[in-house]
Chains A and B, each alone.
Chain A
Amino acid sequence: MAIGEIAMKLAKLRGKLSYQTILLGSVTLLTSGVLAVANYLTQEAIQAAEMQDIKHTLVQVLPIQYDNDLLQDTVILPGIDGNLLTVYRARQRKQVVAVVFQVSQFGYAGPVVLMMGISRTGEVLGVRVLKHSETPGLGDKIELAKNNWILSFNGRSLTNPVTTQWQVKKDGGVFDQFTGATITPRAVVRAVKQGLEFFTAHQAEFL
């Protein structure tokens, strides 16, 4: 069939209501199919990459010696937000010396997800941001790649500073906020504090 003929037929068909319905339907079906395939193809790689990220962060929030495989030694508990939370345990000669888990709080533009390591004695060993959607150039200073701020939690515990001081300076606490961004650091401080409280409440279950 000549191209002109096809074009003519198409032009005739296009005007029909059923053509439009079928077109829209098939386009949606087709793209959904493509997305499903893409999801299938990328799922494993994405998971592997995220696992790698977790491992990388685990090392950062655990600046101590341990002799077990963290990713295998986990406890699953109902977390702060009601969802199940995986707690990774670091052991030295069979004894748990530290735990690592995720905490999250709503920041300025979405959830800020953090990974935090807590020592057996309840001190923060390290906190790192896993995921956030804060304003570039303002709220993203919570990333270590951009600012050292996140290190200010190291060595802190629920008694250092006292509970009422677990806030940004603007609210009367001890933690710095950033120029132009208070909501983000506020969320992070709250998340870390909640993490410590979670640790205290569930100590018996994972130590």
Chain B
Amino acid sequence: MNQNYLNIAREGLWDNNVVFVQMLALCPTMAVTSTATHGLGMGLATMVVLTLSNLLISAVRHWVSPEVRIPVYVVFIATLVTLVDMSLNAWAHELHKVLGLFIALIVVNCAILGRAEAFASKVGISEAIVDGLMMGLGFTLALVTIGAVREILGSGTLFTEAHLLLGEMFAFLELTLIHEYKGFLLMILPPGGFLTLGFLLAGKRVLETRLSTVVTVPQQVSV
């Protein structure tokens, strides 16, 4: 059973990462990763919604007939996003001012519907929750990585405005890496997002190929 959860975690974080492997949710990915902080905000907000939607969809999976499942999931997800948006606005207004923009974008995040369809509708509640958390975390990692690369190359900074998202305590995260930097606009605009994603994808493939050769070499020796 634990092995099962480890597998789910591994899938979400690396083997089946929403952005780097499934290539889903590219619209919000390109839109918000102009800084690492925004990537983090979007990632965390998505993680919450994804976990909740996985939970809900797994809970009703026996009731939903296959013919109407997609509209049912869409209605659930849209409702969840709206609920999260409203409650944040009412009870965590400061946070909503920062995250509000991202929450609206979650509706167009097909990764959430993707997980509902491909995973949560077929497994038990606890597995669906773990999957939601891990996929969300994987998404967050991807967004922060892309955001960091774009921000460093595009504006010479890292985690600017982090104190707006995480509170004054995290102001130390805000770094200016390249002083007197003129900025490289292309990286901040959407094409920069695609370029960064392309290079990161290639990097991931290279890394995986290297790793698999490292693992297989001793086996060949033993044979």
- Contact surface of A with B, Cβ cutoff 8 Å: 7, 10, 14-15, 19-20, 23-24, 27-28, 31, 34-35, 38-39, 41-43, 45-46, 49, 52-53, 133, 135-138, 145-146, 179-180
Contacts and interface: CB of A to CB of B under 8 A. Distances in A.
B89 A49 contact: yes
B49 interface: no
B188 A137 contact: yes
A31 B183 CA distance: 46
Interface of B: 31-32, 34-35, 38, 62-68, 71-72, 75-76, 79, 82-83, 86-87, 89-91, 93, 101, 104, 151, 155, 161, 164, 183, 185, 188-189
Contact of B86 (A15, A28, A42, A52): A42
Q: Which of B31, B76, B101: most chain A CB closer than 10 A?
A: B101
B154 to A, nearest CB: 8
Contacts of B62: 7, 10
Nearest to B87: A42
B32 A136 contact: yes
Contact of A35 (B38, B79, B183): B79
Contact of A23 (B32, B35, B68): B68
Question: Which secondary structure dominates where chain A touches chain B?
Answer: helix
Contacts of B66: 14
B101 A46 contact: no
Question: Which secondary structure dominates where chain B touches chain A?
Answer: helix
Contacts of A14: 65-66
A180 B93 contact: no
Contacts of A136: 31-32, 34-35, 38, 101
B185 A38 contact: no
Given A136-B34, A138-B189, 15 more contacts: A10-B62, A20-B67, A24-B71, A31-B76, A34-B83, A45-B90, A46-B89, A49-B89, A53-B93, A133-B101, A137-B151, A137-B188, A145-B161, A145-B164, A146-B161
